Amino acid sequence: MKKKDRFNQPHNLPGTLVCVEGIDGSGKSTQLVILRDWLKSLKQDVIFTEWNSSDLISQTTKLAKKKNLLSPRTFSLLHAVDFADRLEQVIIPALKAGFIVLADRYVYTAFARDVARGVDPDWVRKVYGFAVRPDLTLYFRVTEEVSLERICANRSPKFYEAGMDLKISNDPYESYRIFQKRVNDEYKKMLKEFSIVEIDANESIHKKQLFFREEVKKVLAQKGIEL
């Protein structure tokens, strides 16, 4: 199978790839950490990876963001390079070794954010065609209003997070609401296309975690792993 076609087929590697998606403030990262600790307590081999964290490119991306130098397509390409490095250096080796890989954001983040910035959806999907298909992806659904409220409890919206580069509004809070709604709309379009499991992010942490674990158990059972 050619690398550019990998995303359209099951990866057929011994390990299991579980991803969480959603706009900021959805609680997905917290849920993934709780899940990781639970799996480790059951003596499972687990590895964790998160969006935009490659040592190769993340500092370059941070510097460009700080100087507000990124066009939507440049933004997309930098994240694709970051992702490609983590995929080949971390994700695929771990899957080959039979690990459970937990990804805090995956290619769907690019499909949602980049398209919300006006990048062509087919182009973005082709850029990430080398990715391996996850075994399970959960989308933590929360409104942009709730997202903003949760973010503002600790800090102000960041420039790109609020879509200020798009000049939607001079008010960062209003810009955040508009941009994150666009991102949410893109996520919703992807649910059926990629068989993404939706979860209500307004539920309690405990209830969300129980649901999450059941979904993971189903996927692992298909690989002969009973928890």
Residue 100 pairs in a beta bridge with 16, 46
Q: Stretch 109-117: mean pLDDT, rounded?
A: 96
Q: Are 58 and 85 in contact (CB under 8 A)?
A: no
Q: Are 196 and 190 in contact (CB under 8 A)?
A: yes
**R_g over Cα of the chain:** 17
Q: Is 17 left (phi over 0), alpha (psi -120 to 50) or beta?
A: beta
Sign of the CA dihedral with 65 first, then 170, 123, and 185 last: positive
Separation of alpha carbons 49 and 12, rounded Å: 20
Q: Are 131 and 7 in contact (CB under 8 A)?
A: yes
Kindly give the interhelix angle for 72-86 and 58-66, rounded to the nearest 10 degrees.
160
Question: 212 lies in a domain?
Answer: no
Question: 188 lies in a domain?
Answer: yes
Question: 98 lies in a domain?
Answer: yes
Question: 100 lies in a domain?
Answer: yes
Residue 199 pairs in a beta bridge with 140
Question: 221 lies in a domain?
Answer: no
User: Looking up tokens 């990781």, which residue turns up?
Assistant: 36
Q: How many domains, the chain?
A: 1
Range of the domain at 52: 15-206
Question: 211 lies in a domain?
Answer: no
DSSP-H helix ranges across the chain = 28-41, 58-66, 72-86, 92-96, 107-116, 121-127, 144-152, 172-193, 205-222
- Dump pLDDT digits (tens) for 167-197: 999 999 999 999 999 999 999 999 999 999 9
Q: What is the CATH number of the domain that holds 167?
A: 3.40.50.300
- Dump pLDDT digits (tens) for 60-98: 666 666 656 667 888 888 889 999 999 999 999 999 999
Separation of alpha carbons 150 and 111, rounded Å: 24
208 has pLDDT over 50: yes
Separation of alpha carbons 146 and 14, rounded Å: 38
Q: Are 157 and 176 in contact (CB under 8 A)?
A: yes
Q: Measure CA 38 to chain center.
A: 21
- Dump pLDDT digits (tens) for 21-73: 999 999 999 999 999 999 999 999 999 999 877 776 666 666 666 656 667 88
pTM of the model: 0.90
Question: 55 lies in a domain?
Answer: yes
Question: 63 lies in a domain?
Answer: yes
